[in-house]
Amino acid sequence: MDTELHFDLPLSIAVPLVVLCLLLAAYLSAAETAITGASRPRMHRLAQQGNKRATMINQLLDRKDETVSAVLLGNNVVNIFSASLTTAVLTALFGAAGILYATLAIGVMIVIFAEVMPKTWALMRADRVALTLAPSILFTVAILGPLARGVAWISRFFLGLMNVRTDRSLDAKEHSDLLRGAIELHGADLTDEDAPAEKAMLRSVLDLGDRTVGDVMTHRGNVALIDADQPVDAIVAQMLAAPYTRIPLYRGEADNVVGVMHAKDLFRAIKAAQGTIDSVKIDAVMTPPWFIPESTILFDQLEAFRARHEHFAIVVDEYGALRGIVTLEDILEEIVGDIEDEHDAIRRGVLRRDDGSLLCQGDVPIRDLNREFGWGLPEGVATTIAGLVLHEARRIPEVGQTYAFYGFRFEILKREGTRIAELRIVPPAAIQAAD
């Protein structure tokens, strides 16, 4: 019995078929890379601007698993066909040695011309290539989609048997990590001095959901309070002396806040009384206080300020004791940095020295230092730099003591009672330069 296989396809037909398969494979490889690398936010924006091809890309991205499956299926089919065709032709010409020749020849051609070159091109210009190939990819998916769905279902079935997660949903942390990663990449190749500031602002917007008003409030030790039982002229004098337009009023003790006085309301009342200050009723002028817990999330408080059309609140702890005040400006400063006007005391609390170290007031927030100097000091254990030193030292430090942690060196320069009033911070770069 004759078992010899004969292949009668002439080279004039076989060679163009192999070239055609390689071209199709190159196209499908570029399409796969372009779809997986296309920027969903940019395509969404282009689609909103009326770009029809971007709309097609969004449709493909909405069913990304089916699209990739269809493209991979087509790619494998044409690669297998080209390899089989080449093997058959070379075997007919060279016999058994043709298998080796075909493996080397088609392997090199597929790797270089059908994989590396098109994928490199598509990877370098993913958005542009995706927009260029969008109609043809949509046509390819329409043809191979049903078969690809079947292959994808079989794949998911076997992955399910191995307890491998196959759903595409992301949890909240993964979404947050994606955004933060995009922010870190923002402006990475730029030398513009504004890029770090933009990054800080974008990061701060995301942090609004993680931080509380207790992290940004003005502590009660720094809050201006006025006794509401004082004579009106004394209250007016204190309002004029304070650099604030709103001041809480209390009776008896500081924790018993009974209202908030706005300077304009007070002066309108005095004007209405035609200069007779003693006839002004403070209780009629002040507004009711708005108490909020210190555990309130900053994003929620920002929404509450907008809903109530107010931007001043009294912060209390779980026992109702006064903890401080928070304003709309405090929250905005968490996003854009310090906002100073002509009435603000110039009190940044940080002085850079020539040796690279910094003289710092103890009540300077850690977050401000990290934002200003690009440091990575932990913000979860304490709000102020003095609080961080106390947390790490596990004791009330003495003046002159030096501590080293997180790569920094902290020297206590001044203490007021048990509070660290001033310290010297030596960052890692200054320590290395000194060594």
β-bridge partners, 325: 218, 314
Q: How many helices (H) and strands (E) does the chain have?
A: 18, 12
In this prediction, residue 227 carries a pLDDT of: 92
Residue 128 has pLDDT above 50, yes or no: yes
In the chain, pLDDT over 90 holds for what percent of residues? 17
Distance set, CA 193 to CA 190, 199, 206, 355 (Å): 9, 11, 22, 23
In this prediction, residue 261 carries a pLDDT of: 92
Residue 173 pLDDT level (bands cut at 50, 70, 90): low
- Do the two domains 213-328 and 350-434 of this chain adopt the same fold? no
β-bridge partners, 423: 360, 412
Identify the top-confidence range among 88-102, 297-311, 345-359: 297-311
Amino acid residing at 262: H
Give the mean pLDDT of 262-286: 85
Residue 190 pLDDT level (bands cut at 50, 70, 90): very low
Residue 1 pLDDT level (bands cut at 50, 70, 90): very low
Residue 348 has pLDDT above 70, yes or no: no
Pair of tokens at residue 216: 């940004």
In this prediction, residue 336 carries a pLDDT of: 76
In this prediction, residue 217 carries a pLDDT of: 87
Please tell me the distance from the alpha carbon of residue 387 to that of residue 147, in angstroms, as a whole number. 63
Residue 186 has pLDDT above 70, yes or no: no
In this prediction, residue 145 carries a pLDDT of: 81
Pair of tokens at residue 366: 């850690």
Query: Which residue has 């609140």 as its token pair?
Result: 313
Strands (E), 166-301: 218-219, 226-227, 246-251, 253-262, 291-293
For residue 282, give the nearest of 239, 325, 333 by alpha carbon.
239
In this prediction, residue 225 carries a pLDDT of: 92
* Pairwise pLDDT comparison (257 vs 103), residue with the higher score: 257
Question: Contact at 8 Å (CB) between 388 and 366?
Answer: yes
pLDDT, tens digit (0-9, with 9 covering 90-100), for 379-433: 878 888 998 999 998 888 899 999 998 899 999 999 988 889 899 999 988 888 7
* Pairwise pLDDT comparison (262 vs 181), residue with the higher score: 262
Looking at domain 350-434, its CATH architecture is: 2-Layer Sandwich (3.30)
Residues 6+ apart with CB under 8 A from 8: none
- Between 55-64, 74-83, 208-217, 317-326, the lowest mean confidence (pLDDT) is in 208-217
SS3 422: strand
Give the mean pLDDT of 322-342: 78
pLDDT, tens digit (0-9, with 9 covering 90-100), for 82-95: 888 888 888 877 87
Largest CA distance in the chain: 127
pLDDT, tens digit (0-9, with 9 covering 90-100), for 365-375: 887 788 778 78
In the chain, pLDDT over 70 holds for what percent of residues? 86
Query: Which residue has 């097609």 as its token pair?
Result: 56
* Pairwise pLDDT comparison (296 vs 174), residue with the higher score: 296
Question: Contact at 8 Å (CB) between 290 and 314?
Answer: yes
Residues 6+ apart with CB under 8 A from 191: none
In this prediction, residue 3 carries a pLDDT of: 42
CATH number of the 213-328 domain: 3.10.580.10
SS3 110: helix
Helix pair angle (52-62, 11-37), 10° resolution? 90
Domain spans, the chain = 11-161, 172-207, 213-328, 350-434
Identify the top-confidence range among 88-92, 195-199, 257-261, 340-344: 257-261
β-bridge partners, 314: 291, 325
For residue 115, give the nearest of 67, 75, 87 by alpha carbon.
75
Cα 1 from chain centroid?
Answer: 73
In this prediction, residue 197 carries a pLDDT of: 64
Residue 347 has pLDDT above 50, yes or no: no
In this prediction, residue 4 carries a pLDDT of: 44
Task: Using the Cα atoms of residue 385, residue 387, residue 391 and residue 394 in order, give the sign of their dihedral.
Answer: positive
* Long-range contacts of 280-285, Cβ-Cβ distance < 8 Å, separation of 24 or more: 280/232, 282/228, 282/232, 282/235, 282/249, 283/228, 283/259, 285/261
Residue 6 pLDDT level (bands cut at 50, 70, 90): very low
